[in-house]
Structure 1
Amino acid sequence: MPTRNVVLTKRQEELIETLVESGRYQNASEVLRDGLRLVEQRAAEDASKLKALRAAARVGVAALDRGEFKEFETAEDLHAYLNDFSEKIISRTSE
């Protein structure tokens, strides 16, 4: 396996030592590999969220293009509409 030199903060060094001393990891390399797996997992989750957001944006823009939207005079009107809408949804799911 290739080796790398890394520069750690004092806090990071202490964290690695604590994790190894706890017995959870056998050495610092295991700690760092696990950390890299978490970074990889987070990147995959972020990519998935971004894909879902882009799909939702396309749906929204298409609805706007078709004229499927509602306009409100005030923020209070919007708030009242959303409250009514959520009540309808809640009553449907509780049936």
Structure 2
Amino acid sequence: MPSRHVVLTERQEELLETLVRSGRYQDASEVLGEGLRLVERREAEDAGKLQALQAAARVGVSALDRGEFKDFDTIEDLQHYLNGLSEKIITRAGE
């Protein structure tokens, strides 16, 4: 198995030692392996979120291209519209 030289801050070293002493991990390699699995999971989740945002952006741009949008003169007009929309959604959810 390949080995790596890793530089840790004092805080990271203390955390690593605490986790090993707790008995949850047998050694530093297990702690670092768990950390890498968590990073891998977060990266996959972030990639999924990015894909969802890109899909939503495509839907929004397509709607704009078709002229499906509403103009507002002021921020208050926008807030009034959104409040009304929220009330409609809440009412439907309660039915």
Same fold (TM over 0.5): yes
TM range, smaller chain: over 0.9
Q: Give, in angstroms, the shift of residue 78 of structure 1.
A: 0.3
Q: Give, in angstroms, the shift of residue 36 of structure 1.
A: 0.4
CA distance in 1 between partners of 2:73 and 2:6 (Å): 58
| TM-score, normalisation: structure 2 | 0.98
Is 1:65 the counterpart of 2:65 in the alignment? Answer: yes
Q: Which runs of 5+ in 2 are unaligned?
A: none
Equivalent pairs: percent with the same residue? Answer: 75
Q: Secondary structure at the match of 2:57?
A: helix
Q: Which aligned runs of 4 or more in structure 1 are off by greater than 3 angstroms?
A: none
Q: Which runs of 5+ in 1 are unaligned?
A: none
1:11-50 equivalence runs, <5 A? 11-50=11-50
| TM-score, normalisation: structure 1 | 0.98
Residue type of the alignment partner of 1:76: E
RMSD: 0.5
Q: Secondary structure at the match of 2:80?
A: helix
Aligned pairs, number: 95
